[in-house]
Structure 1
Amino acid sequence: MTETSGPLVGHVHSDDLPWVHIGPVGLQVLRVSADTWVVRNRFEAGFQLPTHKHTGGVHGYTFSGRWRYKEYGIDYVTGTFIHEPPGSIHTLTIEEDSDILFIIEGAFIEYDADGNISGVVDGESTLNSYYALCDDAGIPRPQGILS
């Protein structure tokens, strides 16, 4: 059997990526590609994202804390792995300080209280925001996030 080596495995260590903060949300961007973005968030208790849906699937892992989607009534606690199918509409609500890793395919579409689209977030816009927050805090932009 002949083996061929492919491209090098992309990698980045979380210790090499700064945490930036937007109010009660800590953000660390681990990877951004054309169709997938990976973020780690540290949310303070009481925080709630706007009601939203994703155009692709989302995987999440809870390192610590307790959170839920307001519509489903299920608490996701430390050690919980979730999968959101594309198109599910929900409102992420943080019950306790939480540290969560999300692997997101496609875009995040936000809705206002009347059900109108109020914003669209994707990997590129998240990375641009992350870099801007690094710049504002005087933190050098990390390397190795893009793939």
Structure 2
Amino acid sequence: MTETLGPPVGHVHSDELPWVSAGPVGLQVLRVSPATWVVRNRFEAGFRLPTHKHTGSVHAHTFSGRWRYAEYGIDYVAGTFIHEPPGSVHTLTVEEDSDILFVIEGAFIEYDAEGNISGVVDGESTLNAYYALCDAAGIPRPKGILP
């Protein structure tokens, strides 16, 4: 049987992509496509994301630190891999400085204290924010982000 090669495998090395900061959050964007976005975050201890859910699945790997979802009471430490099913509602709370890789399908829907939708974030808006943070810091926009 003869196999033909498909399209080349895309790749990016994290050392080629700058880290930018938005207050207590460091951000590195590795991939953005219409369906999936991949980011790496460095969160400072004490940081808390608003309560939110995702329209698709999320996979995450913790490189360092300790964090949790306030609703579940489970600490995720270095080496932990998690899967969030679509629609799970949670509040990410950082217990120790943490470095986490997220593979996100769909959008991130944020809620205010009353349970109303207060924001929607997707891959495109995250990439635009990343570029704006690069621009503000005087960092050239990276060219290696995968589609």
**TM-score, length of structure 1 as denominator length:** 0.99
Q: 2:128 corresponds to which residue?
A: 128
Q: CA deviation at 1:144?
A: 2.2
Q: Deviations over 1:75-99 (max 9, x none)?
A: 0001000000000000000000000
Task: Report the 3-state secondary structure (helix = DSSP H, G, I; strand = E; otherwise coil) of the residue aligned with 1:130.
Answer: helix
- CA shift at 1:48, angstroms? 0.1
Equivalent pair of 2:62/2:101 in contact (CA under 8 Å): yes
Gaps of 5+ in 2: none
Q: Provide, for residues 53-104 of structure 1, a one-character-per-residue CA deviation record: whole Å limited to 9, x for no partner.
A: 0000000000000000000000000100000000000000000000000000
- Paired amino acid for 2:36: T
Aligned to 1:80: 80
- The two structures, once aligned, show a CA RMSD in angstroms of 0.6
Residues 27-55 of structure 1, C-alpha deviations (whole Å, 9 max, x = no match) = 00000011000000000000000000000
Q: Which residue of 2 aligns with 1:89?
A: 89
How many residues end up aligned between the 2 structures?
A: 147
State the partner residue of 1:54: 54
For the pair 1:98 / 2:82, whether they are aligned, the reply is no
Match of 1:135, SS state, is helix
Aligned residue number for residue 110 of structure 2 = 110
Q: Following superposition, which runs of at least 4 residues in structure 1 exceed 3 angstroms of deviation?
A: none
TM-score normalised by the chain length of structure 2: 0.99
Report SS of the residue matched to 1:6. coil
Deviations 1:91-118 (A, max 9, x none): 0000000000000000000000000000
Deviates more, 1:4-13 or 1:16-25: 4-13
Question: 1:146: how far off?
Answer: 3.5
**Structure-1 separation of matches of 2:46 and 2:96:** 7
